[in-house]
């Protein structure tokens, strides 16, 4: 099993702050984004079109996987694109089926559906090794993609990784409560991240998600992995990132905990930490070559 390196943000990033590659970030993202890629659509036989934005460049490239109900146009996705552009590395961000500008219906999607979306992106829209950056449920999909396409993955960066979370949360409810939801055919979860104030998951979604759980056994991933999580995350407990780190087989796994970090990790300092972490990985991967 991998040894888990737990480090403080300030100490762990001391070398990255001196990296010249970050000077472009301070003059672009932190002062406001200057460029933006155009939305394109990928057609797939008998499947909904996927909307994406792409910046071409060097490898390793970066692919951003957003969270459930979110889209590619959030602060993290835009910051990643601008940073990659400044370094001359490729970057791709996209919307899952039923999300954002992509076709499909959110309520009809499953973990398996969105895993196929990610694999399509890796197989058809990017070239060379990629650093996957997964936010929340995107962190779960990131792991599934790395298991399915190890030859295409250079490294992983999880932000508030929600591996197995929807399944374990439901299964942890009292038996009577679970039976009530099962009789109704859906589970209603309060959230502050949607306009309605809740998410609805039908029982078929939950049963299908069980097929994709990764925390019951060693996770066959051997690339470098960085897991960033906020201690004040009220949606996905930070100990899930610890569980992921303990199960991943890679010898190069770091868990970075932010004392005041919340689930979305979208404050300026959160964004900086994410970008610094990716910059450090790019430097490590290119040095190795």
The string of DSSP letters for 45-102 reads: TTEEEEEEEEE--EEEEEEEE--TT--TTSHHHHHHHHHHHHHTEEEEEE--TTSTTS
Q: Which of 24-38, 43-57, 179-193 is predicted with the least confidence, judged by mean pLDDT?
A: 24-38
* Annotated active-site residue in 95, 117, 164, 233: 233
**What is the DSSP secondary structure assignment for residue 202, as one 8-state letter?**
E
263 is catalytic: yes
Q: Percent helix, strand and coil across the chain, each rounded to 5?
A: 40, 25, 35
Homologous superfamily assigned to 40-162+219-288:
Alpha/Beta hydrolase fold, catalytic domain (3.40.50.1820)
Which tens digit of pLDDT belongs to each residue from 58-115?
999 999 999 998 889 889 999 999 999 999 999 999 999 999 999 999 999 999 999 9
What gap in Å lies between CA 75 and CA 271, rounded to an integer? 8
Predicted pLDDT of residue 9: 38
* Annotated active-site residue in 102, 136, 160, 241: 136
What gap in Å lies between CA 201 and CA 178, rounded to an integer? 13
pLDDT band at 188, cuts 50/70/90?
A: confident
Predicted pLDDT of residue 245: 98
Predicted pLDDT of residue 264: 78
Q: Which residue, 89, 149, 91, is CA-closest to 118?
A: 149
Helix (H, G, I), strand (E, B) or coil at 195: coil
Give the burial class of 172: count Cβ atoms within 10 A of its Cβ; 0-12 exposed, 13-18 middle, 19 or more buried: exposed
Inter-residue contact 89 to 282 (CB < 8 Å) = yes
Inter-residue contact 61 to 130 (CB < 8 Å) = yes
Helix (H, G, I), strand (E, B) or coil at 139: helix
Predicted pLDDT of residue 289: 57
* Annotated active-site residue in 70, 135, 263, 279: 263
233 is catalytic: yes
For residue 241, pLDDT beyond 80: yes
What gap in Å lies between CA 198 and CA 49, rounded to an integer? 27
Q: Is residue 60 reached through a cis peptide bond, with omega within 30 degrees of 0 on the bond before it?
A: yes
- N- to C-terminal Cα separation, the chain: 25
What gap in Å lies between CA 118 and CA 166, rounded to an integer? 19
Predicted pLDDT of residue 35: 63
Average pLDDT, the chain: 88
Q: Which residue, 158, 123, 128, is CA-closest to 143?
A: 158
Predicted pLDDT of residue 261: 77
């Amino acid at each position: 099993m991998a040894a888990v390196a737990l480090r403080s943000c300030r100490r762990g990033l001391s070398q990255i702050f001196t990296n010249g590659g970050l000077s472009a970030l301070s003059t672009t993202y932190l002062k406001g984004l200057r460029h933006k890629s155009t939305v394109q659509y990928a057609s797939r036989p008998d499947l909904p079109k996927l909307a994406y934005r792409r910046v071409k460049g060097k490898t390793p490239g970066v692919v951003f996987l957003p969270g459930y109900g979110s889209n590619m146009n959030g602060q993290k996705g835009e910051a990643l694109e601008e940073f990659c552009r400044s370094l001359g590395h490729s970057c791709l961000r996209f919307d899952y089926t039923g999300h954002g500008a992509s076709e499909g219906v959110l309520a009809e999607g499953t973990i398996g559906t969105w895993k196929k979306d990610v694999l399509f992106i890796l197989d058809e829209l990017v070239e060379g090794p990629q650093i996957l950056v997964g936010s929340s449920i995107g962190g779960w999909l990131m792991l599934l993609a790395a298991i399915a396409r190890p030859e295409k993955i250079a490294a992983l960066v999880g932000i508030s990784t929600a591996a197995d979370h929807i399944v374990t949360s439901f299964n942890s409810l009292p038996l009577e409560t679970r039976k009530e939801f099962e009789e109704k055919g859906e589970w209603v979860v309060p959230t502050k991240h949607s306009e309605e104030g809740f998410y609805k998951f039908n029982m078929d979604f939950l049963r299908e998600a069980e097929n994709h759980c990764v925390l019951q056994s060693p996770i066959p991933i051997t690339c470098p992995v960085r897991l960033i999580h906020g201690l004040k995350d009220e949606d996905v407990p930070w100990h899930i990132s610890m569980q992921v780190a303990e199960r991943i087989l890679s010898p190069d796994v770091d868990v970075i905990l932010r004392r005041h970090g919340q689930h979305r990790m979208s404050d300026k300092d959160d964004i900086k930490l994410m970008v610094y972490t990716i910059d450090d990985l790019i430097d490590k991967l290119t040095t190795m070559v």
